[in-house]
Amino acid sequence: MNAMPIPPSTHTAATIRDNWLQVCADVATACQAAGRSDSEVTVLGVSKYVDPPFAMQLVEAGCQQLGENRPQHLWAAHQAMVQAASSNPALAQVKWHMIGHLQRNKITRSLPMLDCLHSLDSLRLASALSAAVVAGRQLPGQELSVLLEVNVTSDQAKTGVVPAEAAKTLEHVLELPGLRVDGLMAMTTLAASQAQTQREFASVRELRDTLQKQFGSSAHLHQLSMGMSGDYPLAIAEGATLVRVGSRLWQGIL
């Protein structure tokens, strides 16, 4: 983040638009190569690197879903967009995704802004989220969409539930009111070979397929959140439905 917010110029707006269109074109190409419809894949614009005015340019370019990995940045970006929405109603329509670890003491403030939490990485977090959704529910049956974060790498330091524990965790989460588990999210090993990254994406999909079979109609695990700037075409080839693209969208800006 810049120390002092710099308003975007027409030049940066054009750069952001070009980046957005290029990413959309890459997604269409990857979908076509995989025999998938590009309506199956949503590009999540990861706005954590930039100040709100730049994220607004991305929305104006056509990106309707944004992701943040830190609650404080989510709050600031969300507030800035709500304030600016009087001059551009599209900003009020943005859907916000939390893609980083959410500490339990940040739940109450974050919850009203969130459309989806990708980083459900423990039962403790799930219970706290469930309680907060139920307590703050304005409509009966209102639910938060969550993705179970799984760690398919061999790195134990990474966040997420290991595959051997995924079924047990999912079973408990499915019993909690106020949460709707829509699928899985994963981070792959940083700077791995393409072959390894591909194997990790494939193992996320296979884990999803296994869990779906096991839970049948009690779960609807249709979302696979995987793939970032360096590997989103590969993730799409392996079944991603949500790609989390950050730095590629800010190329030429940062």
Binding site for ligand PLP (CB under 6 A): 46, 48, 69, 99-100, 187, 228-230, 244-248
- In the bound complex, what is the minimum distance in angstroms from residue 218's beta carbon to ligand PLP? 28
- Rounded to a whole number of angstroms, the minimum distance from the CB of residue 239 to ligand PLP is 17
Contact (Cβ atoms closer than 8 angstroms) between residue 214 and residue 167: yes
User: What's the rounded Cα separation, in Å, for the pair 238 and 254?
Assistant: 30
Please identify the residue of the shown chain whose CB is closest to the bound ligand PLP: 246
Angle of the 194-215 helix axis to the 163-174 helix axis, nearest 10: 40
In this complex, which beta carbon is closest to ligand PLP, that of residue 12 or of residue 178?
A: 12
Closer CB to ligand PLP, residue 183 or residue 246?
246
Strand partners for 68: 98
Give dist(CA 230, CA 235) in Å, integer. Answer: 10
3-state class (DSSP) for residue 252: coil
Rank residues 25 and 82 by Cβ distance to ligand PLP and give the closer one. Answer: 25
CB proximity list for 27: less than 8 A, separation 6 or greater:
38, 41, 43, 232, 233, 236, 243
Closer to ligand PLP by CB, 59 or 117: give it.
117
CB of 44 to ligand PLP, least distance (A): 8
- Considering the complex, what minimum distance in angstroms separates the CB of residue 222 from ligand PLP? 19
As a whole number of angstroms, the distance between CA 129 and CA 142 comes to 13
CB atoms within 10 A of CB 28: 14
Q: How far apart are CA 41 and CA 143, in angstroms?
A: 22
In the bound state with ligand PLP, the residue whose beta carbon lies nearer, of 8 and 100, is: 100
CB of 40 to ligand PLP, least distance (A): 19
Cβ 149 to ligand PLP shortest distance, Å: 9
Look at the alpha carbons of 13, 17, 18, 20 in this order and tell me if their dihedral is positive or negative: positive
Task: Rank residues 181 and 245 by Cβ distance to ligand PLP and give the closer one.
Answer: 245
Strands of the chain, DSSP E? 42-46, 65-68, 95-98, 116-120, 144-150, 179-186, 223-225, 242-245
User: What's the closest the beta carbon of residue 30 comes to ligand PLP, in angstroms?
Assistant: 15
